[in-house]
Amino acid sequence: MNALRRVWDHFEEGFIAFLLAAMTLVTFVYVILNNLYTLFYNLADRWEGSSELFFAIGDSILGMAQSMTWSIALTKALFAWLIFFGLAYGVRTAGHIGVDALVKLASKPVQRVIGLIACLACLGYAGLITVASFDWVKTLFTAGIGAEDLGHYGIMQWHITLIVPFGYAMVFIRFLEIFVRILRNQQTGLGLADEAAEALKINEHGEHKQ
């Protein structure tokens, strides 16, 4: 079980890195193509002897840029996957910011009770969104609507929106794990990020360097 957990954790990190890299690469290529053809047109104007060659290269690059109408839609889809896939990763790594200044003033047993209540609320929300979004995806699947600028490549809207129920199902599992850890007294709260503590650590690190 632990081995499977480690495999999934590594896959989670690798898939997030892949989504970031794919977004960056698609955007980079699109921007380069949209700015590169002007260089060859300028070269064609400057060197008349080779103008036909430069114009041909410029036209080819311009054609590739114009054919990449799908790039913006793909980037949006990848970004959506990054957000909803990253939700559970943020819960696992304490990436979400916690607003718990008042909670920390309470005693440990009270903090534990508040943590359980907060965790139940998160579980209820994640479960509700998972079920509702699954019905939404099922409707899109039945409708068979193609994704904007990606439909002619066989990508349907439900392919993109499938990440919503999957992402929230993973969030539900992560909060369920936290709920069990709180019951076992392994932690008191949701384990969210503490900006004040992080700022103090950064400040102390800076003072040590000086």
- The confidence score (pLDDT) of residue 200 equals 44
- In this prediction the pTM is 0.78
Q: Name the H helices within the chain.
A: 2-46, 51-67, 70-92, 108-143, 157-161, 163-183, 195-209
- pLDDT tens column, 137-150: 999 999 999 998 89
Q: Where are the domains of the chain?
A: 1-68, 97-210
Q: Tokens 């949006």 belong to which residue?
A: 76
CB atoms inside a 10 Å sphere around CB 118: 20
- pLDDT tens column, 146-199: 998 898 889 999 999 999 999 999 999 999 988 988 888 887 777 655 544 454
Structure tokens, 73: 């839609």
For residue 131, what pLDDT band results from cuts at 50, 70 and 90? very high
Taking CA atoms, 179 is separated from 41, 175, 184, in Å, by 63, 6, 9
